[in-house]
Amino acid sequence: MNTIQFVLSYVVVPLIISIGIINGKSKGNVKSLAMMVMVKGIFYFYLAIASFVGYLNVETDRYIVGYTISLAIIEGASAVYDGILLIKDKRH
């Protein structure tokens, strides 16, 4: 896996998923939010399979780093947005 593939797989895709989840939450669009949550789940399955294949091929370092970066982007963005919403709700 070269650097461009790594960045696309482990940075760009999670950013798109995070933006989709935040967008669905902010606009109250349940269908959009549900779709992005399902995409997130599918992406996690992909990460699990890629990590397992990498483990079998003894290339685990790159997959572990990619998995960690992906989780941090998706879960971090969602958590920050949820926190912002909670702060806004307490002010009103």
pLDDT in tens, 24-70: 888 988 888 888 888 988 888 888 787 777 778 776 677 778 888 88
Q: Categorize the per-residue pLDDT at 19 as very low, low, confident or very high, splitting at 50, 70 and 90.
A: very high
For 5, other C-beta atoms within 10 Å of its C-beta total 10
Residue with tokens 């939010």: 33
Domain residue limits at 27: 3-91
Question: What's the confidence (pLDDT) of residue 91?
Answer: 58
Q: Do residues 21 and 77 lie in contact, with contact meaning Cβ atoms separated by under 8 Å? A: yes
Residue 66: how many CB atoms within 10 A of its CB? Answer: 22
Q: Is this structure's pTM higher than 0.85?
A: no
State how far the alpha carbon of 63 is from the alpha carbons of 3, 33, 38, 56, in Å: 12, 27, 22, 12
Question: How many domains is the chain partitioned into structurally?
Answer: 1
